[in-house]
Amino acid sequence: MEKLFIDKEIKYTGSELSPHWIYKNFHIKGDAIVCFRGPVDVHLTEMVDIEDVINNEPIKSDKMANFIIEVFNSNLREMVIRQRLFISIIKETLEDMGINVKRKGDDLFYNDKKLSVSIATKSTVSTLVHTGINLVSTGAPISVSSIKDMEIIDEDCFIEEIMKRFCLEMEDIEFAKVKVRGV
């Protein structure tokens, strides 16, 4: 799995959660994870999470770290499992920094306030995940927590560490599949 931290601000609107967005914009072919920072404004018409649409809960934030993961040759169930693993990796990374967070499904909470958003979906050729982590607590329609609240000084290092850990986990899973003999 390839990874790329895009060091330019990009507004996340939901349209980025589409097949080959990573390839078309950053020339990475195949399974990949990218992250970029920027404001988030996902209108209900762009929402993938039908429950959020029904509940009239658009996603907004003044600044998030937005992770897009695209995996080919996977089904939606497998991608939801990868999504949960990714969220757990973020949780472990924060805990290794001495920050206590709680995970409920695919959501993270800090001080009982929502820290992240995440959704997994399937396209005609791939499976996709978007996970956003609030970098600031402003601009959201609800009270949220953020990396700024945690006083994490080096956002870049935090983002790179999450992507590195996820890619290593994916590599280790692939190795685990081929290192055993059938019985």
Count the Cβ atoms, other than its own, within 10 Å of residue 9: 10
Q: What's the pLDDT at 109?
A: 98
pLDDT score at 150:
96
Q: Per-residue pLDDT tens for 39-63?
A: 999 999 999 999 999 999 899 999 9
Q: What is the pLDDT of residue 22?
A: 98
CATH, residue 40: 3.30.930.10
- Structural domain contains residue 62: yes
**149 assigned to some structural domain:** yes
| CA nearest neighbour of 15 among 39, 45, 53 | 45
Whether 143 maps to a domain, the answer reads yes
**Assigned domain for 81 exists:** yes
36: β partners:
6, 66
| 51 part of a folded domain | yes
Q: Is 60 helix (H, G, I), strand (E, B) or coil?
A: strand
Q: What is the pTM of this model?
A: 0.96
Q: Average pLDDT, stretch 77-92?
A: 98
Domain that holds residue 118: 2-178
Q: Which of 27, 26, 32, 23 is closest to 7 using CA atoms?
A: 26
Q: How many domains does the chain have?
A: 1
Q: Tell me, yes or no, whether 100 lies in a domain.
A: yes
Calpha distance 85→73 (Å, rounded): 18
Residue 40 falls inside a structural domain: yes
pLDDT-based confidence at residue 84 (cuts at 50, 70, 90):
very high
Region 79-91: what's the mean pLDDT?
98
Whether residue 183 is contained in a domain is answered as: no
Residues 104-162 pLDDT 10s: 999 999 999 999 999 999 999 999 999 999 999 999 999 999 999 999 989 999 999 99
